[in-house]
Structure 1
Amino acid sequence: MADVARIDKWLWAARIFKTRSIAADACKNGRVTIKGVNVKPSHTIKAGEVVSVKKPPIVYSFEVLKTIEQRVGAKLIPEIYKNVTEAKQYELLEMSRISGFIDRARGTGRPTKKDRRAMDAFVDPALLGLNDEADDDFDDDFMWEQH
């Protein structure tokens, strides 16, 4: 085992990113920092350093325990790094999950049928002072007036 490892290889080997190319792209796009400084994919890391990874909407922080460049099984991850992400970040993640279907991110496309039902359940017509019977009467009147 080496004393140092490339950051892109380590992020992939530690299962923080699914592929090494995704890890390298994250580094190139400024989503991986060490001590507040953006790092390139070829940056070397040592044990004891804290790596911050931005995966919107939160920033994860990992303390490097072992430097590896070969992917390991998921059971061995606690030996590789320690998750030191602040609790405030996880609260932010939970809040975005709760309100995620209200303020959709640009480019996520149309809501799925499941999303639509969740939105409808969230914005219950009874909360808005509407009831289904009034809507039915309105539709009937509207149809008769047109013909």
Structure 2
Amino acid sequence: MRIDKYLWCTRYFKTRNQATEACKKGHIRINEQVAKPSREVFPADRLTIRKNQIHYQLKVLAIPDSRVAAKIVGLYRIDTTPADALKHQEAQKLAKEYYRKKGTGRPTKKDRRTIDDYLDEGE
């Protein structure tokens, strides 16, 4: 099975086009080699996927016939991603919550005073 189709079938990407683009950009590696979208995947291959600034590491167990349900994805791959990478993802989520939400406009006077008070406490 092609790598782009495998990644779509195992739900790492929502569409095959997204999986193909990731391959073209060099974000997908098979056994430490950059993979083109048409590269074949076989059981026991080791995949490295760079998605959302995290390097996921997988081991292919089997090849699915078509897109599989989220509950049974574990039958086709083993996720060997280090825990440090997943902690990095959680830290990114917390950092995003710190900033103002997009579309809230400029800070009000009250917001500005709060920001100034916060910055003055650091000195």
Deviations 1:80-108 (A, max 9, x none): 111111111112112212223568xxxxx
The separation in 2 between residues aligned to 1:42 and 1:87, in whole angstroms, is: 30
1:128 to 99, 119, 122: 119
The separation in 2 between residues aligned to 1:50 and 1:57, in whole angstroms, is: 19
The separation in 1 between residues aligned to 2:98 and 2:33, in whole angstroms, is: 34
In the TM superposition, 1:1-147 aligns within 5 A as 5-100=1-96, 111-113=102-104, 125-129=116-120
Deviations 1:21-62 (A, max 9, x none): 111111111010112211001101111111111012211111
Shift of 1:18: 0.5
Structure 1, unpaired ranges of 5+: 104-109, 131-147
TM-score (norm 1): 0.67
Shift of 1:69: 4.5
SS of the counterpart of 2:41? Answer: strand
CA RMSD, 1 decimal: 2.6
The separation in 1 between residues aligned to 2:45 and 2:88, in whole angstroms, is: 24
Structure 2, unpaired ranges of 5+: none
Task: Pick the structure with greater CA Rg.
Answer: 1
The separation in 2 between residues aligned to 1:76 and 1:62, in whole angstroms, is: 15
Shift of 1:75: 1.5
TM-score (norm 2): 0.79
Letter in 1 for 2:61: L
The separation in 2 between residues aligned to 1:39 and 1:73, in whole angstroms, is: 25
Change (3 A) 1:112 1:57: farther
Letter in 1 for 2:119: L
Aligned residues: 114
The separation in 2 between residues aligned to 1:57 and 1:100, in whole angstroms, is: 14
Percent identity, please: 30
